[in-house]
A and B are shown apart, each in its own frame.
Chain A
Amino acid sequence: MGSITLRQVSKVFGEAKVIPSIDLEINDGEFVVFVGPSGCGKSTLLRLIAGLEDVSGGQILIDGKDVTHAAPAERGLAMVFQSYALYPHMSVRKNIAFPLKMAKMEQSAIDKKVEAAARVLNLTDYLERRPSQLSGGQRQRVAIGRAIVREPSAFLFDEPLSNLDAALRGTMRLEISDLHHQLKTTMVYVTHDQVEAMTMADKIVVLNRGNIEQVGSPLDLYKSPRNLFVAGFIGSPKMNFIDGAYAQSRSARTAGIRPEHLGLSKDSGTWRGTVKVAEHLGADTFLHLDVDGIGPITARCDGEFGAYHGDTVYMTPDESKLHRFDDKGLAIRG
């Protein structure tokens, strides 16, 4: 079991209200991602759940039990840190065994568990090495191994992949998702990278200035963002926002259209623009255009489209995929 409930949880550092008040329900077995820009309070929220910070107000329940004032170790959670936080003076084996040693488990049982975890994480050949003799990815796997052996009710990940290079990040992302399928344990994952959020999460919690902007599945957030912040944060390249006459004609203050929802043509279309920058990624090309009467627009097109700096391109927005926002920045439905 591993359900986590936050009831009006708040955190104040001196004068700064980092988290005003948050209510959140994390179900057993769910992969939940906290995502948001730097300083939005996502790591603080995770640390509150872990017990590494004391809450200023509210309640934290794990499996229905109030753990608001319980020590980190008493909460039955395991955490993987951004810097891996391995014990540099211990071998991989001792690192993974450490939580079991603290739990005063018998040595033979510890050995069995460590070896089982090492098999799952492909670390068997590295058990006698020190963390300094491992690559970044291996270190992160050791950190995960240390978390697994405790058989926690939930795993907490604090930006675990941000120290890795892009290729390794992709691989580790898959490994963590795969691990979640194998263990079926609740995972709470903090990241500022919306690609990680979209690819891994069952449920995404978008945070901004300590408040929850929206909670939902990745596709929910992509298809029906609740406000301008979520619309701009989820999706890459980000959604185009258009104010002025075009928005007004659709009874909105701001209209939003994603770069992939613009039909492109070299001959005709609703809007006409000039290519300022073309980013050729191979399969896709991102065109950054200056559109007459609209302003800067980003469009995503097929890699074969063949548009370059200075070319004129016509665009037709897919009206069925258009997002509309009111004066307060909230989405207008229907």
Chain B
Amino acid sequence: MARNVTTRHKVTATVFAWIVALIIFFPILYTLITSVKTEPEAIAGFSLIPSGTFENYVTVQTQRDYFKPFMNSVVLAVGSTILALIIAIPSAWAMAFSPTKRTKDILMWMLSTKMMPAVAVLVPIYLMFRDFGLLDTRIGLTVMLTLINLPIVVWMLYTYFREIPGEILEAARMDGAGLWQEIVYVLTPMAVPGIASTLLLNIILAWNEAFWTIRLSTTNAAPLTAFIASFSSPQGLFWAKLSAASTMAIAPILILGWFSQKQLVRGLTFGAVK
């Protein structure tokens, strides 16, 4: 028997969903509202009605060049994602299609590094960066972001590759495809939806990563996360400007997420609902 869903149930569920969504979205909304308040308004207490000034945006842009950290964020997010995919595609391929007894253990071990508190390795990594001259460099941060997101990228790709029937790859082998041709002509095109959602998710993760980017950069390679953090300074907190900077920092990724949400949802639920 089909479940009996009455109109009242539907209305209740919809209202509940909207409330939850608003609670989740509220911090972003409040940041947006605060960004168009004046500094005195911003510290005056809770208020949803701003005076509607865009002065903060102008100040943020003129006093601290927004474009530079923005470009750093783009380079770090895109660079680390491409690098991670280059490493992860062959590794996930090997683990999905030529598994050994230890494959699961390796995967678990890779994932376990994500469970470690980042601060636990802060000192050794900082010292290594210092000794290799990688502090405050785009290359250093790109490598760092690649490494911290690599386990997730490998796991996601492994899951997608596992969904591809082995017979198709065997057919390619019978058809005379070598290992490389098999990956380029058959596996990768079939895994495009999976690779695309992995790519999008990794860009978002890399864009939002704050712990390492703030600690390993100062000016030259500082991305938007460090840019926002710089508004909380010893001279005091500038809530309105901080909010304007935050809005400008999250806007690009929010827009990317909005346009790719279909792909993201499909990618993240791939396998689970099939």
Give the nearest-CB partner of A147 in chain B: B174
With a cutoff of 8 Å between Cβ atoms, the chain B residues found around residue A87 in the complex are 168, 171-172, 185-186, 189-190
With a cutoff of 8 Å between Cβ atoms, the chain B residues found around residue A52 in the complex are 170, 173-174
Rounded to whole angstroms, the CA-CA distance of A72 and B177 in the bound complex is: 10
Q: Which of A82, A88, A99 contacts B175 (CB 8 A)?
A: A99
With a cutoff of 8 Å between Cβ atoms, the chain B residues found around residue A99 in the complex are 174-176
Rounded to whole angstroms, the CA-CA distance of A86 and B177 in the bound complex is: 14
Which chain A residues (68-102) contact chain B, with CB distance < 8 Å? Answer: 71-73, 77-79, 81-83, 85-89, 98-99, 102
Show 7 A/B contacts (Cβ-Cβ < 8 Å), sorted by A.
Answer: A81-B167, A81-B171, A83-B165, A85-B167, A87-B171, A88-B168, A99-B175
With a cutoff of 8 Å between Cβ atoms, the chain B residues found around residue A98 in the complex are 172, 175, 177, 185
Give the nearest-CB partner of B169 in chain A: A85
B170:A73 contact, CB within 8 angstroms: no
With a cutoff of 8 Å between Cβ atoms, the chain A residues found around residue B165 in the complex are 83, 85
**Known A-B contacts A85-B165, A89-B189, A89-B190; A102 and B176 likewise in contact (beta carbons under 8 Å):** yes
Known: A52-B173, A85-B165, A87-B190. 15 other contacts (CB 8 A): A50-B174, A71-B173, A72-B173, A73-B176, A73-B177, A77-B174, A79-B171, A81-B170, A83-B165, A85-B167, A88-B168, A89-B192, A98-B175, A99-B174, A146-B175
Residue of B173, B174, B185, B189 contacting most chain A CB atoms (<10 Å): B174
* Proximity string of chain A (142-154) to chain B, C-beta cutoff 8 Å, 1 when within and 0 when not: 0000100010000
Would you call A16 an interface residue if the criterion is a C-beta within 8 Å of the partner chain's C-beta atoms? Answer: no
Would you call A183 an interface residue if the criterion is a C-beta within 8 Å of the partner chain's C-beta atoms? Answer: no
Would you call B14 an interface residue if the criterion is a C-beta within 8 Å of the partner chain's C-beta atoms? Answer: no
Q: Which of B168, B181, B185, B192 contacts A85 (CB 8 A)?
A: B168
CB A303 to nearest CB in B, in angstroms, measures 42
Q: Which A-B residue pairs are the 6 nearest by beta carbons?
A: A102-B176, A73-B176, A99-B175, A85-B171, A85-B167, A89-B189
CB A26 to nearest CB in B, in angstroms, measures 18
Give the nearest-CB partner of A83 in chain B: B167
With a cutoff of 8 Å between Cβ atoms, the chain A residues found around residue B177 in the complex are 73, 98, 102
Would you call A103 an interface residue if the criterion is a C-beta within 8 Å of the partner chain's C-beta atoms? Answer: yes
A150:B167 contact, CB within 8 angstroms: no
With a cutoff of 8 Å between Cβ atoms, the chain B residues found around residue A72 in the complex are 170, 173-174
Rounded to whole angstroms, the CA-CA distance of A88 and B181 in the bound complex is: 16
Rounded to whole angstroms, the CA-CA distance of A77 and B175 in the bound complex is: 9
B167:A103 contact, CB within 8 angstroms: no
With a cutoff of 8 Å between Cβ atoms, the chain A residues found around residue B174 in the complex are 50, 52, 72-73, 77-79, 99
Interface residues in A, total, Cβ within 8 A: 22
Give the nearest-CB partner of B181 in chain A: A102
With a cutoff of 8 Å between Cβ atoms, the chain A residues found around residue B168 in the complex are 85-88
Give the nearest-CB partner of A53 in chain B: B170
With a cutoff of 8 Å between Cβ atoms, the chain A residues found around residue B176 in the complex are 73, 99, 102-103, 150
Rounded to whole angstroms, the CA-CA distance of A30 and B175 in the bound complex is: 22
With a cutoff of 8 Å between Cβ atoms, the chain B residues found around residue A88 in the complex are 168, 190
CB A1 to nearest CB in B, in angstroms, measures 19
With a cutoff of 8 Å between Cβ atoms, the chain B residues found around residue A146 in the complex are 171, 175
Residue of B168, B170, B185, B190 contacting most chain A CB atoms (<10 Å): B170
With a cutoff of 8 Å between Cβ atoms, the chain A residues found around residue B186 in the complex are 87
With a cutoff of 8 Å between Cβ atoms, the chain B residues found around residue A82 in the complex are 167
Give the nearest-CB partner of B168 in chain A: A85
With a cutoff of 8 Å between Cβ atoms, the chain A residues found around residue B181 in the complex are 102
Rounded to whole angstroms, the CA-CA distance of A88 and B192 in the bound complex is: 12
With a cutoff of 8 Å between Cβ atoms, the chain B residues found around residue A73 in the complex are 173-177
Rounded to whole angstroms, the CA-CA distance of A87 and B189 in the bound complex is: 10
Rounded to whole angstroms, the CA-CA distance of A178 and B185 in the bound complex is: 33
Which chain B residues (135-190) contact chain A, with CB distance < 8 Å? Answer: 165, 167-168, 170-177, 181, 185-186, 189-190
Give the nearest-CB partner of A79 in chain B: B174
With a cutoff of 8 Å between Cβ atoms, the chain A residues found around residue B190 in the complex are 87-89
Which chain B residues (190-247) contact chain A, with CB distance < 8 Å? Answer: 190, 192
CB B98 to nearest CB in A, in angstroms, measures 13
Rounded to whole angstroms, the CA-CA distance of A79 and B176 in the bound complex is: 12
Rounded to whole angstroms, the CA-CA distance of A73 and B176 in the bound complex is: 4
Rounded to whole angstroms, the CA-CA distance of A99 and B171 in the bound complex is: 10
With a cutoff of 8 Å between Cβ atoms, the chain B residues found around residue A86 in the complex are 168, 171
Rounded to whole angstroms, the CA-CA distance of A50 and B175 in the bound complex is: 11
Rounded to whole angstroms, the CA-CA distance of A82 and B166 in the bound complex is: 12
Residue of A50, A82, A99 contacting most chain B CB atoms (<10 Å): A99
With a cutoff of 8 Å between Cβ atoms, the chain A residues found around residue B170 in the complex are 52, 72, 79, 81, 85
With a cutoff of 8 Å between Cβ atoms, the chain B residues found around residue A150 in the complex are 175-176
CB B34 to nearest CB in A, in angstroms, measures 48
CB B99 to nearest CB in A, in angstroms, measures 14
Rounded to whole angstroms, the CA-CA distance of A102 and B192 in the bound complex is: 21
Rounded to whole angstroms, the CA-CA distance of A87 and B190 in the bound complex is: 8
Rounded to whole angstroms, the CA-CA distance of A102 and B179 in the bound complex is: 12
Give the nearest-CB partner of B170 in chain A: A52
Give the nearest-CB partner of A158 in chain B: B167
CB A309 to nearest CB in B, in angstroms, measures 36
With a cutoff of 8 Å between Cβ atoms, the chain B residues found around residue A78 in the complex are 174
Give the nearest-CB partner of B188 in chain A: A89
Rounded to whole angstroms, the CA-CA distance of A150 and B177 in the bound complex is: 13
Rounded to whole angstroms, the CA-CA distance of A83 and B168 in the bound complex is: 9
With a cutoff of 8 Å between Cβ atoms, the chain A residues found around residue B173 in the complex are 52, 71-73
CB B200 to nearest CB in A, in angstroms, measures 20
Rounded to whole angstroms, the CA-CA distance of A86 and B190 in the bound complex is: 11
Rounded to whole angstroms, the CA-CA distance of A89 and B193 in the bound complex is: 11
